[in-house]
Amino acid sequence: MGILHSYIDALAETGIDAIKFQTHIAEAESSLAEPFRVKFSYEDATRFDYWKRMAFTKAQWVEIKAHCEECGLEFMSSPFSQTAVDLLEELGMQRYKIASGEVTNFLMLEKIARTGKPIILSSGMSSFEELDAAIAFLNPYGNDLSVLQCTTSYPTPPERIGFNVIGELKSRYPDLKVGLSEHTSEIFTGLAAVALGAEVLEFHAVFDKRIFGPDAKSSLSIEQIKELVRGVRFLETSLQNPIDKSDNSPYIELKKIFEKSLAVKTDLPKGHLLTFEDLESKKPAQEGISARAYKRVIGKKLKHSKAKYDFLKKEDIE
């Protein structure tokens, strides 16, 4: 619990909005038939044993939620059973995040939908057909829905992130918020997702990626999270302020300084017919004919001689 609380304190300083746990009640969600019951770690013979050891009491959950809220973080936890939903409801959780493996668990989806609270669906193990079915199932309940692109691979290599799916989700579900749940252990992933329109980011957090744990190597360090949040806020500001590229009025004075006027590249006598090779361009603008209009002077005759690098003005040519 001490380590857990130190995570809450550290993450509160990064600028994130919410911290999400997982609520596992081993007996309620697992059975002896589960194929995942293999030697799991130095401490745990099976995943079931891991869940048992890592489970919190209701009193501990109350303490955890209170600490999150004291730090200005929204408390969240993903349930993996009806019993877990009951517990989280007793705690007064504000919204639900559905883990990838639970998208087809319509029994639990209905229980959560009945709360009327916002629901975030992670799509890591789901096809579009399965997502369509889950969203169609949930829609009649009227919950605020979000859907996250996710790749269930720990860590996820770059070729399996599926950035293209973010746009596909936005097109397929135009009324839903879309985001990314990711396990790449890199901040580039979240930044790219936000630039592509993601409105929700989920990632794992760890103090040190060498620590024991099933997700340590797939997580972001506290320092990485600080940098990610800084980048996301920067991108949010830029994306919320579109630029009208047809309006360059803010640059009128700069254009006078940096744009160029035509000049001659060498001494030229009166009566000389101007060629491309005779011309130079020099700052500032509006000291002569615009460099943009150079073709108009080629082949024209000089009315009087010009010294090397003199500006070329309209009155200089016939």
115 within a domain of the structure (yes/no): yes
Are residues 234 and 210 both part of a single domain? yes
The tokens describing 160, both together, are: 């399996």
Are residues 220 and 278 both part of a single domain? no
Measured between alpha carbons, how far is 197 from 195 in angstroms, rounded to an integer? Answer: 5
Q: Which of 123, 114, 96, 106 is nearest to 21 (CA)?
A: 96
Q: What is the pLDDT of residue 74?
A: 98
Are residues 47 and 158 both part of a single domain? yes
CA angle (232 as vertex; 226, 237 as ends), nearest 5: 130
101 within a domain of the structure (yes/no): yes
Domain boundary among 239, 266, 284: 239
Are residues 184 and 86 both part of a single domain? yes
Domain of residue 207, residue span:
2-239
Q: What is the pLDDT of residue 157?
A: 93
Measured between alpha carbons, how far is 97 from 38 in angstroms, rounded to an integer? Answer: 27
Are residues 201 and 267 both part of a single domain? no
Are residues 141 and 74 both part of a single domain? yes
Domain boundary among 239, 274, 295: 239
Domain at 198, CATH number: 3.20.20.70
What are the φ/ψ torsions at residue 101 (nearest 5 degrees)? -75, -5
131 within a domain of the structure (yes/no): yes
Q: What is the pLDDT of residue 40?
A: 65
Query: Could you say which DSSP state residue 290 is in?
Result: B
Burial 91-103, CB ≥16 within 10 A → b, else e: eebebbbbbbebb
Most distant CA pair in the chain, distance: 101
Are residues 123 and 205 both part of a single domain? yes
254 within a domain of the structure (yes/no): yes
Are residues 200 and 284 both part of a single domain? no
Give the long-range contacts of residues 209-215, CB within 8 A, separation 24 or more: 209/185, 212/41, 212/42, 212/43, 214/50, 214/154, 215/154, 215/183
75 within a domain of the structure (yes/no): yes
Measured between alpha carbons, how far is 217 from 185 in angstroms, rounded to an integer? Answer: 7
Q: What is the pLDDT of residue 54?
A: 83
Spell out the per-residue pLDDT of the chain, length 318, in tens: 999 999 999 999 999 999 999 999 988 988 767 766 566 677 887 778 888 888 999 999 999 999 999 999 999 999 999 999 999 999 999 999 999 999 999 999 999 999 999 999 999 989 999 999 999 999 999 999 999 999 988 899 999 999 999 999 999 999 999 999 999 999 999 999 999 999 999 999 999 999 987 789 999 999 999 999 999 999 999 999 999 999 999 999 999 999 999 999 999 999 999 999 999 999 999 999 999 999 999 999 999 999 999 999 999 999
Q: What is the pLDDT of residue 36?
A: 62
Number of structural domains found in the chain: 2
Are residues 216 and 159 both part of a single domain? yes
Are residues 151 and 275 both part of a single domain? no
